Amino acid sequence: MMNGKEVAKVIIEIMKEKTEYLGKIIAVDGKAICSTSEKGKPHSALQILTAYLTESGVVLGQDSIREKTNEIPIFQEMLNFIDIKGKTITADALHCQKETCKKIIEHGGDYIFGLKENQKTLYDDVSLFMSNEINSENMEDFITCEKNGGRIEKRICKKVTDISWLDTRSEWVGLTSVFSIRRVVTAQNKTTDETGYYITSV
């Protein structure tokens, strides 16, 4: 008869096999549990960080945190326990960290991270290059347009794989491409136009 540790080991091995069929994209997302906040202290709510396969919704890892900034080390620690080999990790700009990129590549995965001003030098370099029309001939682009009820959303994706112009590229392990997504949304006679920037090892 197997003991608890042996049972856990078998379960882990089965899960590793199953995840091959349950998807290749792992999303990492932090959510606040509103009902856990103390009265008059909205930022005291318990935060849960979850890593899950987007195609199937299967949760691979989950941990609790008390402050938003603690998501970063919690996720980096989580990478030691979940199988990401051959999979692509997606997360918001909070997780666009050099150490996180390094750990993902070391564990055999790939990453796609949003890019904002928490990485100001990288953000400025990427946004400046991609918003300059002179560089448009060096970019691949793809456009989609969706209509849902009275809402129309157009997305323009531009990707650059030659990043020799990016001075800090060697600091980001595995980095091969940068891209932007411009979202033009028209609804109820109002139009919004926003552009987001991303880095990826894919």
Q: What is the pLDDT of residues 187-196, one digit of tens each?
A: 988 999 999 9
Q: Please state which of the ranges 48-57, 63-72, 108-117, 120-129 shows the lowest mean pLDDT.
A: 63-72
Between 65 and 178, name the one with better pLDDT.
178
The residue assigned the tokens 């456009």 is 143
DSSP 68: G
CA distances from 64 to 33, 137, 157 (A): 10, 46, 34
Q: How many CB atoms lie within 10 A of CB 38?
A: 9
| Tokens representing residue 126 in the block | 């990427």
Average pLDDT over residues 6-11: 68
Query: Is the per-residue pLDDT at 26 higher than 60?
Result: yes
Instruction: Give per-residue pLDDT as tens, 136-162.
Output: 888 999 999 999 888 999 999 999 999
How far apart, in Å, are the Cα atoms of 124 and each of 18, 64, 120, 138?
A: 41, 33, 6, 18
Residue 37 banded pLDDT, cuts 50, 70, 90: low
Mean pLDDT of the chain: 87
The whole-angstrom separation of Cα 196 and Cα 90 is 14
In Å, how far from its chain's centre is CA 189? 32
Read off the tokens for 10: 């078998």
d(CA 9, CA 4): 9
Tell me which of 14-28, 57-71, 139-153, 161-175 is least confident. 14-28
Q: State the Cα–Cα distance between residues 86 and 72, nearest whole angstrom.
A: 22
Percent of the chain with pLDDT over 70: 83
What's 164's DSSP letter? T
For residue 68, pLDDT beyond 60: no
Identify the burial level of 84 via C-beta atoms within 10 angstroms of its C-beta, where 0-12 means exposed, 13-18 middle and 19 or more buried.
Answer: buried
What is the model's pTM?
A: 0.81
Domains along the sequence of the chain with CATH:
1-83 (no CATH), 114-202 (2.20.130.10)
Q: Is 63 helix (H, G, I), strand (E, B) or coil?
A: strand
Q: What is the mean pLDDT of residues 114-133?
A: 94
